[in-house]
Amino acid sequence: MHSTQLPEYDVIVLGTGFAGNCQVRHLLLKIPGIRVALIDPCLEEDLEENFKPGESMIEIGTLFLCKELGLYDYVVENHLPRAGSNFHWPKDPTQTQTTDDHYHIWCNRQPELDSTQINSARFEQDLLRMNKEMGAGFFKGRIVDVDLTPGDVLKTVYVQLGNEKITLKTKHIIDSAGRQFIVGHKTNNLLFEPENHDGVNAGSAWVYVKNVDRDLFHNGYDPYGATCSHYYATNHWFGYGHWLWIIPTDKYTQEISIGVIHHHDVIPTSDINTQEKFYAFLKANHTNLYNLVCSGENVKFYYLPSITHTSKVMFSPDNWYVLGDAACCFDIFYASGTTMISFSIESITEIIRAKLAGEVDAEEKRSAYNNFCVAYARQANHLMKHRAQQLGHASVMSWRIYLEQMWIFGLTLPIYVGKWFLDPQYIRAYLNQAPSVQRVISDVYEELNKLVDKGVNIGLMDIYRADQLFGDYTPVKPQDDYLENAKFEPKHCNVFASLKQTYFYTAILYILLQWKGFGFLGVLAPRHLYNFFSLLKGALETAARERVYLQQTKHIPTNTEVAKMRQEFKNYRYQSQF
Ligand SMILES: Cc1cc2nc3c(=O)[nH]c(=O)nc-3n(C[C@H](O)[C@H](O)[C@H](O)COP(=O)(O)OP(=O)(O)OC[C@H]3O[C@@H](n4cnc5c(N)ncnc54)[C@H](O)[C@@H]3O)c2cc1C
C-alpha cells in the first residue's frame, strides 16, 4: 500500500447519496469555478443494486429538485408524480380486508404545487453522472478518516481506493455519508437518545414489491370524489402505536414500497424485524396491505431499529457541515428528510460562497443558518411527540394532521419559497417566536391525549376541504399570491400574510377543539383562553410586521423578469407578415 497526495479542493463531499449529489449540483450551479470532489465506494452502476427508501417529497423537496437544481424535465421524464397525501383509519381494527373498510382523508384535487416520488437509486445514479459531466471530481473509495482542523486551516480527507490510500486537501468538508456518521462520531455531535427527540422512540420495517395488483388498493374510478389519482399519492394507514406508508417508487417496474413506523413501547423490535414477522403483522392488522404485497413480487426487506437522531451542530465555524442522514433523521410522516436537506443544502452553499468570496458577514450567516436548521430539526421531531398514543384514533389524528399542515403550508413553505431562511434578520425573529408556537402545539398534543383517554369522537378534519372553519380556508391553500405572480426571488413572497392567517385560523381551530372536546369548561379554562389570545396576539403582531414589509417593498416588482419584459413590451409594434 502506498499513499498519494492529490490536488486541493474548495469542497469535498463525503458520500454520494441523495443529499451529497444534490449538494454538489447546487454548489456547481451557484458558485462558478468551484473545485468540488465527491467520494463514495459506489459507482453509478453499483447504485442499481443499492436499494434506498423511495423518497416521497412534499412541495419543498420538489421545488428544491426542480426549481433550484433545474431538474423539472428530468424529474417528469424519469420519476413519478405525487398527488398529495391520503390518510386511512380502519372503521373496525379487526376488519381491514379492503380500502372500503377504512375512513379516509383523500386528496381531492391535484395540489397547486407539484410534488414527486423519486426512485432514489436511479436519481442518485443520474445525478452522479450529471455532476461528473459538470466538472466534479469523483473518487470511488471509502473515507477512512478526516482531519477537522480549526477555522480556515486546510482539512485532510483520507480515502481508501482499492489497495491505494490517497490524501485529499480541502477548505470545506461536507459529511453526507449517511449513518456512517464520519464527522458526527469524530466531533461527539450526535444525539440519539429519545429524550432529545421529544420522547420519540421508533423503528421502521419496509419492503419493496413489484407489479402488485393495484386494484386491491383502488381501481382508479372515483368520478364523484376527486380530480387526481389516489394511487400516486403518499398513502398513510394507521393503527395503534404505528402508521404505514405506500409509496410508488418506480414507473418502469411498477415497484412500490410499503413500510411501517412502529413505536417501540407499543410494538417492540422483536415483533417486526424480519420479513416473516412484518408480513404476519400486516396480515393481522392491515389485511388489505398484506394482500397487496402478496399480489406482487417481493424485491427486498429492510429493518431499521431506530429512525430518529439529530446533531448538536449542523454547520461548524471550522468549515465542516453535516447533511442528510449524517446530520439527522425523523419519522418520515411529513417527508421532513428531504425538506431538511433542501434547507441545509441552500444554506451550506451560501455559507461556502460567502466564505470563498471573503465576505464580512459570512460567519454571521453561518451562525444564523446553523441555528435555523438545528431549530427546524427540533421542530420536525416535535411534530411526532405523543404520537404513539394518538395514531390509531381517527378523529384525534385528523385534528392533529390539520393543525400540523396549517403550519407546514402556512409558515415552512412560504419561508422556503421566499428564501427567508437565508436572511439572518428574519431567522432571529423566527427563532424568537418559535417557542411560543411550539408551546401551544405541545398543549394541544396534551389535550388530544386526554381525548384519546376519553375515547370521544370530535369529527374528522379534512385538510383538503374548505367547509370546516370559515372563509374558505384550507391549510393547503397559499395565503399569498406567490404562485400566480411568481414571487420566487428572495423575500418577494409575503411570508407575513401566510403567518398572520395561520395564527388566526389556529386560534379558531384551537377554540373549536376545546368546545368540541371539552365543552364550555374547555373554552373557558384559563390556560386555553391564554393560548387562544396569545395566538390572536401573534396574528396582530404579524399583521403589523406585514404593514412594514409592504411599505418597504411597495416599489419592488413581484417578479423582476416579468417587470423587465413588460417594460420592453412597451416598444412592441405588430408587424404584418404580408
Ligand atoms: C425507511 C426510510 C424511509 C424514508 N423515506 C423518506 C421519504 O419518503 N421522504 C423523505 O423526505 N425522507 C425519507 N427518509 C429520510 C431519508 O433517509 C433521507 O431523505 C435521504 O434518503 C437521506 O439520504 P442521504 O444522502 O443523507 O444518505 P444515504 O442515502 O444513506 O447516502 C449515504 C451515502 O454515503 C456513502 N458512504 C457511506 N459510508 C461511506 C464512506 N465511509 N465513505 C464514502 N462514502 C460513504 C454511501 O455509499 C451512500 O451513497 C426515509 C428514511 C428511512 C430510514
d(CA 287, CA 298): 17
H runs (alpha helix) in 408-494? 413-417, 424-454
Cα(341) to centroid(ligand 1), Å: 11
Cα(324) to centroid(ligand 1), Å: 7
CA 223 to chain centre: 31
Cα(567) to centroid(ligand 1), Å: 47
Cα(527) to centroid(ligand 1), Å: 42
Q: Which atom of ligand 1 is nearest to the CA of 18?
A: 25
Cα(525) to centroid(ligand 1), Å: 46
> Which residue would you say has higher pLDDT here, 199 or 274?
274
Cα(89) to centroid(ligand 1), Å: 29
**Which has the closest alpha carbon to 250: 125, 120, 339?**
120
How does pLDDT run across 126-145, given as a tens digit for each residue?
999 999 999 999 999 999 99
- Which protein residue's CA is at the shortest distance from atom 2 of ligand 1? 53
Does residue 332 have its Cβ closer than 6 Å to ligand 1? yes
**Burial code of 381-412, b = ≥16 C-beta within 10 A, e = fewer?**
bbbbbbbbbbbbbbbbbbbbbbbbbbbbbbbb
Q: What is the mean pLDDT of residues 453-479?
A: 95
Q: Which atom of ligand 1 is nearest to the CA of 39?
A: 43
* Same-domain check for residues 500 and 483: yes
Q: Which atom of ligand 1 is nearest to the CA of 324?
A: 26
* Same-domain check for residues 149 and 293: no
pLDDT reported for residue 299 = 81
Read off the amino acid at residue 41.
Answer: P
pLDDT reported for residue 46 = 59
We report the CATH number of the domain holding residue 342 as 3.50.50.60
In a domain, 394, yes or no: no
Q: Which atom of ligand 1 is nearest to the CA of 259?
A: 1
On the question of pLDDT at 1 being above 50, the answer is: no
d(CA 574, CA 572): 7
Mention every residue, 6+ apart, whose C-beta is less than 8 A from residue 425: none
Cα(146) to centroid(ligand 1), Å: 20
Identify the sign of the CA torsion 559, 564, 565, 571: positive
How does pLDDT run across 494-503, given as a tens digit for each residue?
999 999 999 9
Half-sphere exposure (Cβ direction) of 22: Cα atoms closer than 13 Å: 30
What's the order of all strands across the beta sheet hosting 255-263? Answer: 102-105, 85-90, 234-239, 242-250, 255-263, 202-210, 297-304
Does residue 329 have its Cβ closer than 6 Å to ligand 1? yes
What is the domain range of residue 336?
A: 1-79+119-192+309-357
d(CA 461, CA 120): 33
In a domain, 568, yes or no: no
Cα(501) to centroid(ligand 1), Å: 36
d(CA 18, CA 359): 30
* Same-domain check for residues 92 and 63: no
**Which has the closest alpha carbon to 429: 496, 362, 364?**
496
On the question of pLDDT at 397 being above 50, the answer is: yes
* Same-domain check for residues 297 and 349: no
How does pLDDT run across 80-127, given as a tens digit for each residue?
999 999 999 999 999 999 999 999 999 999 999 999 999 998 999 999
* Same-domain check for residues 106 and 241: yes
| Pocket residue to mutate for ligand 1, from 22, 23, 332, 384, most atoms within 8 A of Cβ | 332
CB atoms within 10 A of CB 266: 16
On the question of pLDDT at 328 being above 70, the answer is: yes
d(CA 431, CA 367): 13
* Same-domain check for residues 27 and 146: yes
In a domain, 345, yes or no: yes
* Same-domain check for residues 229 and 350: no
* Same-domain check for residues 447 and 496: yes
Does residue 176 have its Cβ closer than 6 Å to ligand 1? yes
Cα(308) to centroid(ligand 1), Å: 13
Read off the amino acid at residue 445.
Answer: Y
Q: Are 65 and 56 in contact (CB under 8 A)?
A: no
pLDDT reported for residue 58 = 93
Q: Percent of the chain, pLDDT > 70?
A: 97
pTM: 0.96
* Same-domain check for residues 126 and 6: yes
Cα(88) to centroid(ligand 1), Å: 27
* Same-domain check for residues 157 and 259: no
d(CA 23, CA 37): 11
On the question of pLDDT at 287 being above 70, the answer is: yes
Question: Given the C-alpha cell 396534551, which residue does it identify?
Answer: 446
- Which protein residue's CA is at the shortest distance from atom 30 of ligand 1? 178
| Pocket residue to mutate for ligand 1, from 12, 43, 50, 55, most atoms within 8 A of Cβ | 55
d(CA 213, CA 291): 9
Whole-angstrom CA distances from 286 to 215, 245, 292, 360 are: 16, 12, 10, 57
Does residue 142 have its Cβ closer than 6 Å to ligand 1? yes
d(CA 67, CA 569): 26
In three-state secondary structure terms, 361 is coil
d(CA 339, CA 411): 13
In a domain, 577, yes or no: no
Beta strands in 217-323 (DSSP E): 234-239, 242-250, 255-263, 297-304, 310-311, 320-322
How does pLDDT run across 332-348, given as a tens digit for each residue?
999 999 999 999 999 99
Q: Which atom of ligand 1 is nearest to the CA of 323?
A: 26
> How many domains, the chain?
3
How does pLDDT run across 61-70, given as a tens digit for each residue?
999 999 999 9
Write the burial class of residue 445 (CB in 10 Å: 0-12 exposed, 13-18 middle, 19+ buried). Answer: buried
d(CA 187, CA 135): 31
Does residue 53 have its Cβ closer than 6 Å to ligand 1? yes
Beta strands in 35-175 (DSSP E): 36-40, 55-56, 80-82, 85-90, 102-105, 115-118, 137-140, 142-147, 155-161, 164-175
Grid cell at residue 229: 389519482
On the question of pLDDT at 570 being above 90, the answer is: yes
Does residue 203 have its Cβ closer than 6 Å to ligand 1? no
pLDDT reported for residue 298 = 86
Q: Are 310 and 198 in contact (CB under 8 A)?
A: no
Beta strands in 289-366 (DSSP E): 297-304, 310-311, 320-322
Cα-Cα-Cα-Cα torsion 281, 287, 290, 294, nearest 10 degrees, comes to 140
* Same-domain check for residues 258 and 293: yes
What single DSSP character describes residue 480? S
Apex 561 CA angle, 559 and 567, nearest 5: 105
On the question of pLDDT at 57 being above 80, the answer is: yes
Of all helices (H) and strands (E), which one includes residue 353?
A: helix 336-356
> Which residue would you say has higher pLDDT here, 269 or 47?
269
In a domain, 435, yes or no: yes
Question: Given the C-alpha cell 424485491, which residue does it identify?
Answer: 299
On the question of pLDDT at 27 being above 60, the answer is: yes
We report the CATH number of the domain holding residue 299 as 3.30.9.100
Does residue 16 have its Cβ closer than 6 Å to ligand 1? yes
d(CA 525, CA 536): 17
Cα(17) to centroid(ligand 1), Å: 6
What's the order of all strands across the beta sheet hosting 80-82? Answer: 55-56, 115-118, 80-82
Question: If you average pLDDT over every residue of the chain, what do you get?
Answer: 95
**Which has the closest alpha carbon to 236: 254, 260, 216, 214?**
260
What single DSSP character describes residue 11? E
- Which protein residue's CA is at the shortest distance from atom 27 of ligand 1? 178
What is the radius of gyration, based on Cα positions, of the chain?
24
Apex 371 CA angle, 21 and 426, nearest 5: 100
In a domain, 318, yes or no: yes
* Same-domain check for residues 173 and 301: no
- Which protein residue's CA is at the shortest distance from atom 31 of ligand 1? 17
In a domain, 576, yes or no: no
- Which protein residue's CA is at the shortest distance from atom 53 of ligand 1? 307
Of the pLDDT bands very low, low, confident and very high (cuts 50, 70, 90), residue 4 is: low
In a domain, 401, yes or no: no
Does residue 15 have its Cβ closer than 6 Å to ligand 1? yes
First to last CA, the chain: 77
Q: What is the mean pLDDT of residues 252-261?
A: 93
Write the burial class of residue 162 (CB in 10 Å: 0-12 exposed, 13-18 middle, 19+ buried). Answer: exposed
Q: What is the mean pLDDT of residues 389-393?
A: 96
pLDDT reported for residue 33 = 96
Whole-angstrom CA distances from 108 to 163, 229, 245, 382 are: 57, 9, 19, 28
How does pLDDT run across 528-552, given as a tens digit for each residue?
999 999 999 999 999 999 999 999 9
How does pLDDT run across 359-368, given as a tens digit for each residue?
999 999 999 9
pLDDT reported for residue 5 = 59
